[in-house]
Amino acid sequence: MAERRVSRWYFGGLASCGAACCTHPLDLLKVHLQTQQEVKMRMTGMAMHVIRNDGFLALYNGLSASLCRQMTYSLTRFAIYETVRDHLGRGSQGPPPFYQKVLLGAVGGFTGGFVGTPADLVNVRSVVPAARYSHALDGMYRVLREEGLKKLFSGATMASSRGALVTVGQLSCYDQSKQLVLATGLLSDNIFTHFLASFIAGGCATFLCQPLDVLKTRLMNSQGEYRGVTHCAVETAKLGPLAFYKGFVPAAVRLVPHTILTFVFLEQLRKYFGIKVTT
């Protein structure tokens, strides 16, 4: 009988927080680029603009909101996905099939997206100087007090849908990629395998979620100019079909490293602090 380690339910949230600390400046630049009404700057130009106007530390504006988002959104989706996947794996021979991983990823991501919507809204707003908050809890309290509970969950449908897609791209594709890489027998379960599988997963996640990510950001950063998701999509489409992929390169530059770091951290947490099980 073989012994292996499985993640504790909160490991995904901790791993995502570690990755967010490294990639937050890229996330901030992505939001700035997506909220431009016209394409005026690219990623490098936007970075220089932020540093020139507000200083280098401005690249970390809203970090507390980003961490709060990871401890709600990411913790929820990882907890659901990994707990149920491990349960399914114990009841059968070998890992569950890919379609079950996709369904599980969609359910976990949709739930996590909804739970994390308030922190996500504050995270998006925190990078805009006009809506600067002291920290994540201050931002959520002020939105609740000044704009109401409904506004706190503004864009929840889009955030949940995006969460489902990105979780399928990240968690489901990571598991499947890792499984296929190990099945070749060319690589063992080591950090290079984790890097390769997470790189593939990051690419899949970026491809799947970018259009919804643009709409979600616009809705959360709006001041009432959009009547809903459909109206936001129509107004965005007026800027051209590529408007749905505005900020695609910085999104990929941010999401792929974030995915890699998340799973590298997660695998290390699992290796050293995971629960031992016998199979």
pTM (predicted TM-score) = 0.82
The pLDDT score that the predictor gives to residue 37 is 60
The pLDDT score that the predictor gives to residue 227 is 78
The pLDDT score that the predictor gives to residue 58 is 80
CB contact at 8 A, 271 and 4: no
Alpha helices in 226-247 (DSSP H): 229-237
Neighbours of 97 (CB within 10 A): 11
Cα 86 from Cα 174, distance rounded (Å): 15
The pLDDT score that the predictor gives to residue 256 is 92
The pLDDT score that the predictor gives to residue 25 is 87
The pLDDT score that the predictor gives to residue 99 is 93
The pLDDT score that the predictor gives to residue 123 is 81
Residue with tokens 């996330």: 27
Cα 167 from Cα 113, distance rounded (Å): 10
Cα 119 from Cα 128, distance rounded (Å): 15
Q: How far is CA 240 from CA 38, 46, 171, 216, 222, in A?
A: 11, 21, 32, 17, 19
Cα 207 from Cα 72, distance rounded (Å): 24
According to DSSP, residue 238 is labeled T
The pLDDT score that the predictor gives to residue 192 is 94
Burial string for 144-156 (b: 16+ CB within 10 Å, else e) reads eeeeeeeebebbb
Low-confidence ranges of the chain (pLDDT < 70): 1-2, 34-40, 91-93, 127-132, 220, 279
The pLDDT score that the predictor gives to residue 20 is 92
Select 3-274's CATH number: 2.60.40.680, 3.30.460.10, 1.50.40.10, 3.30.1330.10: 1.50.40.10
Q: For residue 84, give every residue at least 6 positions away whose Cβ sits within 8 Å of its Cβ, in sequence order, or none.
A: 104, 108
